[in-house]
Amino acid sequence: MQAAESEYKGVHGDFITLAGIDVDPVACADFEMLTGAPAVQMDLFSYEDYRAFHGCEPPEGWREVTPVDIRATTGGIAPDVIFTSPPCKGFSGLLPTKSAKSQKYQALNRLTVRGLKLALEAFRDDLPGIILLENVPRITSRGAGLLRQIKALLAAHGYLFHEGAHDCGELGGLGQHRKRYLLIARLTHKVSSFVYKPPKLKVQSIGEIIGLLPMPDDPVGGLMHRMPRLQWKTWVRLALIPAGGDWRDLEKIALEQYCLQHIPRKSTLGVSPWEKPGPTVIGNARVGGSQASAIADPRMDHFKHSYRINDWNQTAETVTGGCAPSNGAVCVADPRLSKRDTRHPGVYRVVRFNEQGPCVTGTRFGSGAPAIADTRTGFPNSTHHTIYRVSKWEEPAGTVTGAMRPNNGAISIADLRFGCKCRDGTMGVQAWYAPAKTVTGTGDVHSGAASVADPRIPADAEQGVWVIIAEDGTWHRPLTKWELLALQGFPVFMDDGSAIVLSGKSDARWRERIGNAVPPPAARAIGKQILRTLLVSQAGAWELSPTAVWVQEEVSQHG
């Protein structure tokens, strides 16, 4: 909330962040880089919960945090507002129910209560006027017992509170819908004015946010803009999922109607016209595909024999010692096919099924017609009736062969068992012109809608990245970590113009911290409303607002 500011009747106010607290040292480093405020690495587990979560004893020198330690993080200054966003993994719907009930995650969940107890005890002589607790909506069911403890604790200290859900996308004008639980507590003798809800803003589309960024793997985006290297089959699946859909749409596809067609890149093995400008000269040009590094040169006078065929009715070219195609016209257009003897009448021919075959010879493929147009492809006893086929689920499989290639048998199967209990949104492809789904800390293409139907087809493809153009004409691809930062409302460039790179080098850890973060624009909108409430209360005034009330006198202290 450091950036939030407000004004009431000429009185201007803003927040000063005293400190942030996190157990993860790289998260602390990110906090300091993004806010400029200090961050303290601190483990808030009790001894019992540490053992339950980690499954081992604490390391030497570890001790439980006390209220005195919490007070020391702020230099002894009592804060006006405490904002807490305890670990949500144990409450999240992405975690299976069995795991959520385990002692490990129950210990993690208890940090919601322990952290608040430590803070209230640390500043009991000068309690904060406002306390906020933010988490995933499912905390109301998976953490119902803990919320009852929290509300009883707040009520015992004289707080009124409101709890409910809101959409961070609407509060911050983000490019995603992000539903969150929020509990706001107001200390009535310190803060007399109501806390009003922020006005709702337009939720933007994915394209409006990441469309302003360069394409993935562009060096401008830095390390966090690397395209995830997925398996080929995953790229194919993403291409088949319609924009706005997910893995369940794959069950509706008739796979036999699709065929992947390779379309070479523009300029790959290209020949530049003589009369037009050439393409950019690059350092790794090669005929194999970097650019059009060949030219249609009309000046053939000094190479008139290269790769030519002599006309039957004209004089032959000079006989040379280097008898290769590039040394002269060493080929002739021979019209005598129909006048040849019958020794090899079927050279490179396919014999009709209802005609006599030519003489069986012991020589090579070029010496006779050893191929036949066999009309019996559907014959039940044909040894190759399964070539390039997909075996039906309810029918016997073809013979298992040692050479496992598509042309050796039907080595694919139409598997109907797509009945796995995947989570909602798994392997989803998000539409470019619609708001994104919530950015999660553990999501990837296998556990969330972490891909987008990007209409900006790239000019080149890096190794390990395949560009398959879907039926809607877009490239269904994963979102990069840099793009997830943008969807969360974080700045993507530093003051010096370089791309932001979070601490550490792990893509998974980057993703986790991005998903766990509260979107700055949404936090700023909430902070602005709270700051205005504090200014009004400090002035001993009262005001009306066009937005709804978050915390008012009539709300029961027991929810």
**Predicted local confidence at residue 283, as pLDDT:** 61
d(CA 410, CA 390): 6
Residue 261 lies in a domain: no
The per-residue pLDDT for range 203-218, each reduced to its tens digit, is 999 999 999 999 999 9
Q: Containing domain of residue 157, as a range?
A: 5-208+514-551
Containing 309, the helix (H) or strand (E) segment is: strand 309-310
**Is residue 65 domain-resident?**
yes
Between 191 and 7, whose confidence is greater?
Answer: 191
Give the pLDDT confidence of 264-295 residue by residue, as tens digits: 655 555 677 777 887 667 665 554 445 556 67
pLDDT of residue 320: 67
pLDDT of residue 151: 95
Q: Is residue 123 part of a domain?
A: yes
**CA nearest neighbour of 430 among 129, 253, 214, 207:** 207
Confidence class for position 373, pLDDT limits 50, 70, 90: low
CA distance 437 to 414: 31
Strand partners of residue 21: 40
Q: What percent of the chain has pLDDT over 70?
A: 70
Question: What pLDDT is stored for residue 102 in this prediction?
Answer: 93
DSSP 396: P
- Per residue in 179-192, pLDDT (tens digit) is 999 999 999 999 98
Task: Of 132-136, 445-449, 475-479, give the range with the top mean pLDDT.
Answer: 132-136
Pick from 128-142, 147-161, 421-435: least confident: 421-435
Q: What are phi and psi of 373, to 5 degrees?
A: -85, 90
Where does the pLDDT of residue 440 fall: very low under 50, low under 70, confident under 90, or very high at 90 and above? confident
Identify whether 39 is part of a domain.
yes
What pLDDT was estimated at residue 258? 82
343 pLDDT band, cuts 50/70/90, is very low
Which residues, at least 6 apart from 285, have a Cβ–Cβ distance to it below 8 Å?
291, 293
Please say if the pLDDT value at position 24 is more than 80.
Answer: yes
Q: Residue 367: is its pLDDT beyond 50?
A: yes
**Token pair 């639980």: residue:** 181
- Examine residue 257 and state whether it is found in any structural domain, yes or no: no
Question: What's the CATH number where 17 sits?
Answer: 3.40.50.150
Specify if 449 maps to a domain. Answer: no
* pLDDT(405) > 60: no
Q: Please give, one letter per residue, the 3-state secondary structure of 442-476.
A: CCCCCCCCCEEEECCCCCCCCCCCCCCECCCCCEE
Give the model's pLDDT for residue 57: 95
Q: What is the pLDDT of residue 496?
A: 92
Q: What is the pLDDT of residue 445?
A: 53
The residue with greater pLDDT, 324 or 118, is 118
The mean-pLDDT minimum among 22-26, 135-139, 161-165, 248-252 falls in: 248-252
Q: Does the pLDDT at position 29 exceed 90? A: yes
- 451-454 β-sheet, strand order: 429-430, 451-454, 475-478
Q: What is the pLDDT of residue 455?
A: 82
Is residue 438, in this structure, part of any structural domain at all? no
> Does 422 score more than 90 pLDDT?
no
Confidence class of residue 548 from pLDDT cuts 50, 70 and 90? confident
Highest mean pLDDT among 364-368, 380-384, 497-501: 497-501
Q: Tell me, what's the pLDDT at 366? A: 53
Q: Would you state the pLDDT for residue 167?
A: 93
Number of domains the chain contains: 1
416 has pLDDT over 60: no
* pLDDT beyond 60 at 369: no
CB atoms within 10 A of CB 335: 9
Backbone angles phi, psi at 12, to 5 degrees: -100, 145
List phi, psi (to 5°) of 250: -65, -25
Mean pLDDT of the chain: 80
Could you tell me if 50 and 42 are in contact, meaning their C-beta atoms sit under 8 angstroms apart? no
Over residues 4-9, mean pLDDT: 66
Whether 147 maps to a domain, the answer reads yes
